A and B are shown apart, each in its own frame.
Chain A
Amino acid sequence: MKPDNSSDSELLQAMRAGDEEALAALYRRRQPGIYRFALQMCGSQQLAEDITQEVFMVLMREAHTFDPARGSLGAFLMGIARHHLRRRLQRERFYVAMSEAPDNGGLSSQVLVTTVGPLDEMSRTEAIEAVRRAVLTLPERYREVVVLCDLQEMSYAETAEILGCAIGTVRSRLHRARALLIEKLRPAREDDAASATVKSTRCFA
């Protein structure tokens, strides 16, 4: 069997039978999305690597729990990643890493984002960094829809499958999340009328 041409189910079956190549192929195929999702959700490379590793450890241990009838392997793995990430973030909520001390960013990132100039006034790198930080400051349930729909470019249906909610919920959360992002990224000095427009979006979210 050629691992690169095989389907996820075939690779999973081979992996359960003890084929190391199958696991390696599955890992190479699925790890980019999982790692990016974890990184975009938490902003820490170390944590994202831990989550990626943990997801595949779970797959090795509990591959039999995957039911193709209930969804794709990608969604299954992303669901595991989300579950572990939430647990880790909850556990580490009260800890601040030395490298993420307020002086170097961290808590001040929100201030930085809200006080920088409008997106079009920034350099590309600065703008991307500002957007990244703004995404990280979103509440978790809004952050994950932005990450999945906008950054991972998944459809509403795929996102709903991973989050285990209705498509309508995904749409409304995304709407609210984007409104929050715009609010965070808008310059403070913009006129009140425009702000009112953005704020009014909350009413319809």
Chain B
Amino acid sequence: MNCQIFETVVNDLAREQMMEASAREQALAHSRVCEACTLRLALERRLTLWLRALAVEMKSVSPSARVEEHLLEVFRSQTPSLQTRPASRRRYWLVAAAAVVLMALGIAGMRWELYGPSQTSIKTSNNTEAQIFPIASTGAIHHQNAESTPEQTAAFYRPRRKQSVRKSARPSSSGNETLVAKGTARATNTTEAANSAQSEVTTQFLPLSYASPVSLQDGGHLVRVQLPRSAMARFGLPVNMERHGEKVKADVLVSADGLARAIRFVQ
């Protein structure tokens, strides 16, 4: 062993730490022949001695009793909140979950009552259907679109494109294109304008209120409007989030009493 290696073990030697027996023997043997290392070891041992004396001296020190008193006081004041917090949080979540379930059930019930499976479509005077999907099928569409792929989204629009094109191709004089009541020329014109562009792709009519189902027998007309694209989401339609700030065209079906009854989106 040389002085450099001795230096690496001198602390453990002086502090009487566990070390390999052979290393310990070699270090002690070196300290017996090397004067500098003897002095080094002696200083380290003396330092250890006094550090231990200091440690013993400080063993008896402790913080004042008021620290414990203060801590317990704080603990007592906090304990009720500590104990009730998890319970209140659980209760909060239970109440919130119950409220959500009740709201969902309520909405579903109301929709089912208003737009039952028997009211699947509203016929126009000339057997042209302004289809307003029953709630059940609307819900199905919404569900489908929630997980829809671009292909599924395209499929959703496709049938309507054909229908729209077919309808537009028919002569308007027969009236079978219109969604309005007979004899309402203005409404007919509006409808024609709305469907004039053969390239337009439309969704099916979606109900706008929980009032009585739309009856085009009573008259009404279509109004072309522009809405924020995000409005489509309210009807369960897929929205391209990259274009959510843009406007989208829509036809609002206004009944004879002046109330908006249904809407369809135009692409």
Contact = CB atoms under 8 A, between A and B. Distances in A.
B99 interface: no
B63 A49 contact: yes
Nearest to A183: B43
A182 B42 CA distance: 11
Given A178-B47, A197-B39, A151 B55 contact: yes
A3 to B, nearest CB: 13
A89 interface: no
Given A56-B71, A120-B46, A174 B11 contact: yes
B74 interface: yes
- Tell me the interface secondary structure of chain A in the complex: helix
- Tell me the interface secondary structure of chain B in the complex: helix
B40 interface: yes
A52 B69 CA distance: 13
B121 to A, nearest CB: 59
Given A23-B71, A27-B68, A197-B36, A185 B63 contact: no
A70 B8 CA distance: 30
Contacts of B53: 124, 127-128, 131
A103 B57 CA distance: 26
Given A178-B11, A197-B39, A24 B68 contact: yes
Interface stretch (A32-40, A73-81, A93-101): A32-40
Given A23-B72, A56-B71, A178-B44, A35 B11 contact: no
A151 B54 contact: yes
B118 interface: no
Interface stretch (B75-83, B175-183, B192-200, B247-255): B75-83
A48 interface: yes
B12 to A, nearest CB: 8
Contact of A49 (B11, B51, B59, B64): B64
Contacts of B63: 31, 35, 48-49, 52-53
A116 interface: no
B89 interface: no
A60 B58 contact: no
Contacts of A165: none
A18 B81 CA distance: 10
A53 B67 contact: yes
A146 B51 contact: yes
A52 B67 contact: yes
Interface of A: 16-18, 20, 23-24, 27-28, 31-32, 35-36, 39-40, 48-49, 52-53, 56-57, 60, 119-120, 124, 127-128, 131-132, 135, 146, 149-153, 171, 174-175, 178, 181-182, 185-186, 193-194, 197-198, 201, 204
Q: State the 6 A-B residue pairs at the shortest beta-carbon distance, nearest first.
A: A150-B51, A204-B7, A151-B55, A49-B63, A18-B79, A131-B50
26 contacts: A17-B83, A28-B68, A31-B63, A32-B62, A35-B63, A36-B58, A39-B61, A48-B63, A49-B67, A124-B53, A128-B54, A128-B57, A131-B50, A131-B54, A132-B54, A146-B51, A149-B15, A150-B15, A150-B51, A151-B51, A151-B55, A178-B47, A182-B43, A197-B40, A201-B7, A201-B40
